[in-house]
Chain A
Amino acid sequence: MSFKLVWQLSIRNILRHRRRNLMLFAAIAVAVTGVSSMNTLIRGMQYGMMDTAVENMTGHIKIHAPGYRDDPNIQKGFALDEDFEPPVPAEDMLGWAARIRIPAVIMSERETRGVQIVGVDPSAEAISFIGDVPIEGDGLESTDDGRILIGRELAIQLETEVGRRIVVITQGIDGRNREKGYRIVGTYDAEGTALEKMYVFTGLSSLQGLLDSEDVTEVSIRLVDEPKRLTFKQLLVGFFSELAVMDWLELEPMAAAMFIFADSVIYIWFALMMSALTFGLINTLITSVMERVKELGMVRALGMPKRMVLIQVVVESTIIMAVGVVIGLIGGYLVFLTIEDGINLGAFAEGMEMAGIASVLVPVLRWDDFILVAWLSLLLGILASLYPAWRAVKVQPLEAMRR
């Protein structure tokens, strides 16, 4: 069978109705531009949510002692070797941090609040939000730093400020309370989020000293590529056979649910936009077949096989779709370039931060999303052509020519 002939007939038939097909190209292109640029925003929102969840002390993968999550305290800690390094290749790891994170009560002269006290090695915390938030006063200097860094919102609630002293009560390794006075080294600004009220930071060694323990309660690992988390989780499960190894989706079920929801939104959005379009395409193809009935009857009479008639209509549809999709994807890419720096959600932002969505929405372009849109559209192009193609195949030569 001559594919060249099929191709030639398809192209010529498309060119025969320039205006009609231009409208169709435009409609497909606009829809694909809409879908693909919207996808970059949905991805941006999704990744923003993930980053927030991951930076919120979680990391991509986290290791706890079993039972820690139900009852977090230093007795549910575990020891790390002096020279411990996670068994993840350095080039795949953005960083890792060992911490103690346990509940504590914090008191100023005026107020008392429940918080989580986190003992950190400040040099390792580039992987969490505390590594890059603005700080009023100073940050912690080392793992031996015996001062405390608290959230701005918490400082307001405690009616205290940088340089003043507060008292922390928490449980030691023996189950008894420890109490320690701290000087506030600085207050951090996490854009008014709940984090500011939840976490207070001090040096890890210093906190271990207070608790009379050499243990940590968690190791958090941040990867370069989020999708590789499953591979490395496997690896870590083998390495820490006694401990619980979890990824961020397990640790942050809300964020995980939103993350998965965003994936389906992309498909739903695609389905909505493209199905409307597909009816337009089907309609155009039927029109194009119906007005060619005499011609189709004639070529069938001359000896053109049915399957070639069928393929010709399918190819015609696919070409129309492909042209529209290519223009649309270029459009989507251009839209992405113009909003690449992010869209300021401004007034909406206040409410949305609660859901872990940043106030500036930075679109994320994933080529596999573009490729998916392209393939699904072409598939739709083929599906849309099946009915019109069947109509074309059904044409009886004599009947058609007698009309």
Chain B
Amino acid sequence: MSNTVVKCEKVEKTYQKDSVPVYALRGVDFEVNAGDFVSLSGPSGSGKSTLLNVIGGLDRPDSGEVTVDGVALSGLSESELTELRLRKMGFVFQAYNLIPVLSAQENVEFILQLQGVPQAERRERAEAALESLGLADMSHRQPGELSGGQQQRVAIARSIVSNPVLLLADEPTANLDSGTTEDLLGLLRRLNEQENMTIVTATHDPIVMSYTKRQVHLRDGAIERDALAA
């Protein structure tokens, strides 16, 4: 029996571009269960980012309901959504993941500081997260002193350090070469398999899809195919 972490029901989102409506999501029904590792793929403009943002509480659907870990997002105020993102979700973005004035370790601790975790515990958990991603040596470097792949790994460390119920990653490997991409995906797969972390990632990249357990294809704002890997 799998419990549902994300549930989208008839989610619609329309943008206005030069007063022409752009249908980003057209009534998407979508569920993610605990322990899933899902890739969202599809052509550019198909609605991958929009779906991730709606799930992550960064954007609100025009209609339909998104439920995360049992909480209906439509009922939350903006500050409650902020709190929910802080407590329940981990984010890895394509770029600009890290605060440039903080070291790698401080960036990881940042989330725990926002959560009010005491200093000693914070340090321990941040060190453990960096260590588990093979970043122990880099913990005192500033983001500017890290490669793109290392920065993304720090971002993953930051996103998992608070034990979120859900990790959302929008094109986390888009700026990386294929070798580094595979490294990073190996890490995500390990997190998923060993820690049972639920992960949803949007991607263009077939390599990414080959690593995920479940591949969801979008087209024109609707789910075209939803397949579990063999």
Q: A2-B116, A300-B82, A303-B114 are in contact. Are A398 and B59 (CB under 8 A)?
A: yes
Number of interface residues of A (CB under 8 A): 26
State whether A9 touches B59 (Cβ < 8 A).
no
Q: For window 63-102 of chain B, which residues contact chain A by CB distance below 8 Å? A: 79, 82-87, 89, 91, 93, 96-97, 99-102
Smallest CB gap from B168: residue in A: A301
Q: For window 4-24 of chain A, which residues contact chain B by CB distance below 8 Å? A: 4-5, 8-9, 12-13, 15-16
Interface string of A304-325 (1 = CB under 8 A from B): 1110100000000000000000
Q: Say yes or no for A295: interface residue by CB 8 A criterion.
A: yes
Smallest CB gap from B115: residue in A: A303
Our pick among B53, B96, B106 for the contact of A294 (Cβ within 8 Å) is B96
State whether A295 touches B82 (Cβ < 8 A).
no
State whether B58 touches A398 (Cβ < 8 A).
yes
Q: A2-B114, A304-B114 are in contact. Are A298 and B97 (CB under 8 A)?
A: yes
CA distance A180 to B214 in the complex (A): 123
Q: Say yes or no for A397: interface residue by CB 8 A criterion.
A: yes
Would you give the shortest CB distance from A6 to chain B, in whole angstroms?
Answer: 10
CA distance A12 to B142 in the complex (A): 12
Q: A4-B113, A13-B101, A298-B93 are in contact. Are A303 and B58 (CB under 8 A)?
A: no
CA distance A8 to B5 in the complex (A): 35
Q: A5-B114, A299-B99, A306-B79 are in contact. Are A398 and B85 (CB under 8 A)?
A: no
Q: Say yes or no for B111: interface residue by CB 8 A criterion.
A: yes
Our pick among B83, B87, B101, B158 for the contact of A16 (Cβ within 8 Å) is B101
Would you give the shortest CB distance from A294 to chain B, in whole angstroms?
Answer: 5
Q: A5-B114, A398-B58, A398-B59 are in contact. Are A303 and B85 (CB under 8 A)?
A: yes
State whether A302 touches B101 (Cβ < 8 A).
no
Would you give the shortest CB distance from B51 to chain A, in whole angstroms?
Answer: 13
Smallest CB gap from A294: residue in B: B96
Smallest CB gap from B109: residue in A: A5
CA distance A295 to B85 in the complex (A): 16
Would you give the shortest CB distance from A379 to chain B, in whole angstroms?
Answer: 27
Our pick among B89, B99, B113 for the contact of A295 (Cβ within 8 Å) is B99
Residues of chain A within 8 A of B37, CB atoms compared: none
Q: Say yes or no for A401: interface residue by CB 8 A criterion.
A: yes
Residues of chain A within 8 A of B86, CB atoms compared: 302-304
Interface string of A188-225 (1 = CB under 8 A from B): 00000000000000000000000000000000000000
Smallest CB gap from A305: residue in B: B82
Would you give the shortest CB distance from B61 to chain A, in whole angstroms?
Answer: 14
CA distance A209 to B86 in the complex (A): 95
State whether B102 touches A2 (Cβ < 8 A).
no
Would you give the shortest CB distance from A75 to chain B, in whole angstroms?
Answer: 81
Q: A9-B99, A295-B99 are in contact. Are A306 and B114 (CB under 8 A)?
A: no
- 25 sampled A-B residue pairs with Cβ under 8 A: A1-B116, A2-B113, A2-B114, A2-B116, A4-B113, A5-B114, A9-B102, A15-B101, A16-B101, A295-B99, A298-B96, A299-B99, A300-B82, A301-B56, A301-B91, A302-B110, A302-B111, A303-B87, A303-B89, A304-B82, A306-B82, A308-B114, A398-B58, A398-B59, A401-B93
Residues of A within 8 A of B (CB): 1-2, 4-5, 8-9, 12-13, 15-16, 294-295, 297-306, 308, 397-398, 401
